[in-house]
Structure 1
């Protein structure tokens, strides 16, 4: 199983993300995820740099493969622009780049004033993936579809091989879509049924990536305090994460979240066994790659823990 590190754009400055990427490579992590947000979930997280600038900079500080986890190529940024951004990223990373896509959240995608579509409509906008792949062929593209128009567009800077496109999915319809159109699958839940549905819907033996959050600290209680302070939205249930439009609304919803709910969603403290147990859950569910994110200021402690105790025991 490949073990990677998840760069949280919602919480760290661009310089901190680059420092974490260097630290992750030195610690022995094998790959990177990076989130794409216009806003943080709550103001306590406090950041949200433009992911494509950061991805370009990452190519100059480490040689780890990078996956967007995930970007939404349907509303805030037109798929023709995503196609160019991803192609350039793949060139900069010398092919070590995966475009992870999903249907997004209103938190990030409503900013241009467009109506936030219902789930079925957002899934129908998988036309965006068709546009991206068509542009990656290197010819002039004229596309007049239900959701997108592209006229006389050609991407000149392209890698020798187009990047894989991995698709995120949580509900049955989105997972089945991922199986039909994705080169791989992305999830943040160690759920064997989800992996099985992906594989049975056309995913076959394509890669499945999963990820979880940690809060490194001297004690589990201190880690849980940091997690609740920075990520109370982790306990917000159901479809609220897709429909709430701003950090302010997430903060209001998070007032109903109890600290123990957030603690259950994180691996808190510095117990290597707890991290290994969580990684084991993803392995048992059938994932091929697992990415861990740290919240709070002690990310170097997490790197040291993985280098010293976690990664050697996995290998």
Structure 2
């Protein structure tokens, strides 16, 4: 049976508020949680960007949920630091932490002042980072040279008995097929059913046939359909930005300019927006049928507490039946 969890958006809420919602999600029957890892929000109006790794320690102590996060080692984060941070969480909370690794966005990674590589270089950099992280988790003393980062005499002295799962983050078929060969599993984002099936097929074709798959699904729910639409546009306009630009824009103000003329019609089919809880059940059942083992609901609509309550009572039980 698929696990349905809660996505904690550090771009939309201050960390203390997110911590309370994580506790509420557990109390209301959600199976797990994941969170974003941004240095900047997508837009100025979102207005938050708490530090994920500090928050995860607090959230995992405050709940019994499993947790994961998506990060991009190799530029803003040295891979050895990602290895240490992940190992510490997995040591304190055995079996409850996973990490997803991806190539990142310029929005967050440019802060170190280094050039932003093209996608093929970022993929090569990520593979080198994964090698370093796995070697450190295995207790090796690591010396490693790449064009992007260096490691000298690094060894982790605090390591979990079992290292965390490394999920590969992918939003295109090409990337999904690529991560199938090296990651322990896949994490992707919600799409139209036909497009999602293509992502699944590509991942399995690339070597992920027996590996777990997770989905982060952005949803907007309100009792009024027009409010669900308008709030999704106001709070998550980044959904309307073309993927090629999404990874290469530098600042929240750039995303504000890109989305300045967006309308509710532009976002209507980009996210799962509906006042009809039956429709949300259909979406989730489709995800389960597509083979996803874990689904994390990222609510970008109004009244997040009402969303948690409504889905707990009227959506989750029907998806588990």
Say whether 1:101 aligns with 2:101.
Answer: yes
* Equivalence for 1:139: 140
Structure 1 match to 2:263:
258
Q: Distance in 2 between matches of 1:310 and 1:172?
A: 29
2-side partners of 1:5 and 1:249: how far apart? 28
Distance 1:295 1:92 in 2: 31
Q: Which runs of 5+ in 2 are unaligned?
A: none
Per the TM alignment, residue 44 of structure 1 is displaced from its structure 2 partner at its CA by 1.5
8 Å CA contact 2:219–2:298 kept in 1: the answer is yes
Which residue does 1:122 correspond to in 2? Answer: 122
Deviation at 1:165, TM superposition (A): 0.2
CA contact (8 A) 2:103 2:123 kept: yes
Match of 2:311 among 289, 306, 309: 306
Aligned pair partner of 2:287 in 271, 282, 288: 282
The reply to whether residue 221 of structure 1 matches residue 226 of structure 2 is yes
| Residues 53-68 of structure 1 aligned to structure 2 (within 5 Å) | 53-68=54-69
The unaligned stretches of length 5 or more in structure 1 are none
Corresponding residue number in structure 2 for 1:232: 237
Structure-to-structure mapping, 1:202-221, within 5 angstroms: 202-221=207-226
- For the Cα contact (< 8 Å) 1:91–1:159, is it kept in 2? yes
Which residue does 1:20 correspond to in 2? 21
Q: Distance in 1 between matches of 2:257 and 2:63?
A: 39
Q: Which moved more, 1:128-137 or 1:85-94?
A: 85-94
- The residue that corresponds to 2:11 in the other structure is 10
Is residue 284–residue 319 contact of structure 2 (8 Å, CA) maintained in 1?
Answer: no
Whether the 8 Å CA contact 2:87–2:158 is kept in 1: the answer is: yes
Query: For 1:150 and 1:223, how far apart are their aligned partners in 2?
Result: 48
CA distance in 2, matches of 1:53, 1:297: 27
Please say which of residues 138-147 and 46-55 is displaced more in the overlay.
138-147
Partner of 1:243: 248
Aligned partner of 2:89 in structure 1 is: 89
Give the secondary structure class of the aligned counterpart of 1:166.
Answer: strand
2:50 aligned partner: 49
- 2:201 is equivalent to residue 200 of structure 1: no
Q: RMSD between aligned alpha carbons?
A: 1.5
CA shift, 1:290, in A, is 1.1
Shift of 1:94: 2.2
1:165 corresponds in structure 2 to 166
Q: Partner residue of 1:188?
A: 189
1:113 aligned partner: 113
Aligned residues: 314
Q: How far did residue 22 of structure 1 move?
A: 0.5
**TM-score (norm. length: structure 1):** 0.95
**What TM-score, normalized by structure 2, do the two folds share?**
0.94
Give a deviation string over 1:218-253, Cα, whole Å, max 9, x none.
Answer: 311112111111111111113111001100000100
**Secondary structure of residue in 2 paired with 1:159:** coil
Moved over 6 A (4+): none
Structure-2 residue corresponding to 1:72: 72
